[in-house]
Amino acid sequence: MTHEAPASEHDDHDSPYEGLFGGDSDHWAFGTDFDDPLAGIEATIPDGADPRALAQYCLMLGDDALVLSHRLSQWCGRAPELELDIALANIALDLLGQARLLLARAASADPSVVPPLPGASEAVPSPVPAEDALAFFRDDRAYRNAWLAEAPNGDFGQTVARILLFATARLALLERLRASRDAVLAAVAAKGVRELAYHRDFAARWFVTLAQGTEESRRRVTAGLAEVWRHHDELFRAHPVERELAGAGVAVDPADVAGEADAALATVLAASDLPWPEVPQAGQLGGRSGRDGAHTEALSSLLAEMQSVARAHPLGRW
Amino acid sequence: MSEWPLYEVFVRGKRGLNHVHVGSLHAPDDQMAISHARDVYTRRNEGVSIWVVRSDAITASSPDEKDPLFAPSGDKVYRHPTFYEIPDNVPHM
């Protein structure tokens, strides 16, 4: 059986689907345009910056975003309400976008950080982009994220507390990083500031709501805050790489933004009628922490899940 | 947990002149409803402005009244400005 094409062109005249595909996008009420955050950005490495240090710095910022993005995506289908499910997934996707740009920058600054893929060779080149290879084929010891990002989710209150702490610190950092001498980092920071301002607002609003809600919600969010606050100080402890690049005008020394981040946190705590948390800080492992590649076992199980499919098909095309 | 109230969401697009009803959602309060609407309905770069209103604040016409309310205008063709030619360069008509 064959189907005849419409007999005459005027049959199509009233079709609502006419012109739907291709051509002018003006008929989309909301537009279809997307911005490339790196459009027109100069990708050369600034004078006086060690490319290997720059790559390590990009891994620190990128891994923070990647690992927390994965943690938040673990809420998918499990959040208390459908609307929160979408909100947490949105935040996760924003962070994933930042991670992608930062890991790609790490790979371009120092290609030796990209792990070789099993089975890939000169004859069979890897089909995987460098940022994907960094995300899916590095072991936990090569990750440079802070421990706050890898800690388990806990309940919704604890997740809100974590986003609040993370977004407040990262927003303060990226606001200054917009002035980086590295044009790529500056562009990523400019994009990230808009996103993180929303993440912080979302978390602060929910934090106050839960703290001033019922006895149970207050108890939970306070307990969650105490749990994530163990990783507060690490966020503002400068690694030698950060200090070196901050001296070159490329990075931001996190210690320099502790004051303004703490001031923002104090505002949220005051609105919540909660005292400044006095919580013992998580110790280091033999003097090393997340920025040095020393991690808790929470990261290895997270990566085992996140990397399992990619590692099962190292030469797969996605 | 008691259920969050339902809100109706209106979004004005970049090229739109009016807020358009796009759907509904649940939220614990008005501000949170804006926040949820931003996440649920403007993820694809759609909006420049959002209105939310609690669904129970809307008074709607009843389907039973459809005939007396709307049918009488059907034959009053003179109420429609269809006898004018609109120049091509007049936008938003």
Question: Residue A35: closest CA among chain B residues belongs to which residue?
Answer: B45
**For A11-15, A77-81, A212-216, A284-288, which range has the lowest pLDDT when averaged over its residues?**
A11-15
- Structure-token match 């997307």, residue found: A34
Reduced to 3 states, what is the DSSP secondary structure of residue B22? strand
Alpha-carbon distance of A119 to A125, in angstroms, equals: 9
Q: Is the pLDDT of residue B16 over 90?
A: no
- Residue of A26, A36, A72, A83 to mutate, interface with B, max B Cβ within 10 Å: A83
Alpha-carbon distance of A267 to A307, in angstroms, equals: 39
CATH classification of the domain holding B37: 3.10.20.520
pLDDT at A26: 52
Q: What angle do CA A48, A51, A56 make, to 5 degrees?
A: 120
Q: Say whether residue B73 is in contact with chain A using an 8 A CB cutoff.
A: no
* Structural domain includes residue B89: no
Cβ atoms A265, A164 nearer than 8 A: yes
Count CB-CB contacts under 10 A for residue A215.
7
Q: Is the pLDDT of residue B93 over 60?
A: yes
How many separate domains does chain B show? 1
- Structure-token match 């911005």, residue found: A35
Least Cα separation, residue B90 to chain A (angstroms) = 17
Give A48-312's CATH code, choosing from 1.20.1260.10, 3.40.30.10, 3.40.50.2300, 1.10.3720.10: 1.20.1260.10
Mean pLDDT of A155-181: 98
pLDDT at B78: 73
Residue boundaries of the structural domains of chain A: 48-312
- Residue of A36, A81, A205, A212 to mutate, interface with B, max B Cβ within 10 Å: A81
What ipTM was reported for this prediction? 0.71
Question: Residue A198: closest CA among chain B residues belongs to which residue?
Answer: B35
Q: Is the pLDDT of residue B83 over 90?
A: no
Q: Say whether residue B35 is in contact with chain A using an 8 A CB cutoff.
A: yes
* Structural domain includes residue B88: no
Q: What is the DSSP string of B25-70?
A: EE-SSHHHHHHHHHHHHSTTS-EEEEEEEEGGG-----GGGHHHHH
pLDDT at B66: 75
b/e map A35-53, b = 16+ CB within 10 Å: eeebeeeeeebbeebbeeb
pLDDT at A4: 46
pLDDT at A173: 98
- Residue of B31, B39, B52 to mutate, interface with A, max A Cβ within 10 Å: B39
**For A164-173, A246-255, B40-49, B55-64, which range has the lowest pLDDT when averaged over its residues?**
B40-49
Q: Say whether residue B31 is in contact with chain A using an 8 A CB cutoff.
A: yes
Task: Label residue A34 by pLDDT band (50, 70, 90).
Answer: low
**For A84-88, A97-101, B10-14, B41-45, which range has the lowest pLDDT when averaged over its residues?**
B41-45
For the stretch A226-238, pLDDT in tens is: 999 999 999 999 9
Predicted TM-score of the model (pTM):
0.85
For the stretch A173-213, pLDDT in tens is: 999 999 999 999 999 999 999 999 999 999 999 999 999 99
Chain B residues in contact with A201 (beta carbon < 8 A): 35
pLDDT at A7: 44
- Pick from B13, B31, B40: which is nearest to A30 by CB? B13
pLDDT at A59: 98
Q: Is the pLDDT of residue A256 over 90?
A: yes
Cβ atoms A91, A170 nearer than 8 A: no
Greater model confidence, A305 or B3:
A305
Q: Which amino acid is at A112?
A: S
Average pLDDT, chain A: 90
Cβ of B39 within 8 Å of Cβ of A86? The answer is yes
Least Cα separation, residue B24 to chain A (angstroms) = 11
Task: Give phi and psi for B49, each to the nearest 5.
Answer: -155, 140
pLDDT at B21: 92
> Terminus-to-terminus CA distance in chain A, angstroms?
37
Task: Label residue B2 by pLDDT band (50, 70, 90).
Answer: low
Reduced to 3 states, what is the DSSP secondary structure of residue A181? coil
Task: Label residue A32 by pLDDT band (50, 70, 90).
Answer: low
Q: Is the pLDDT of residue A273 over 80?
A: yes
Domain range for residue B24?
A: 6-79
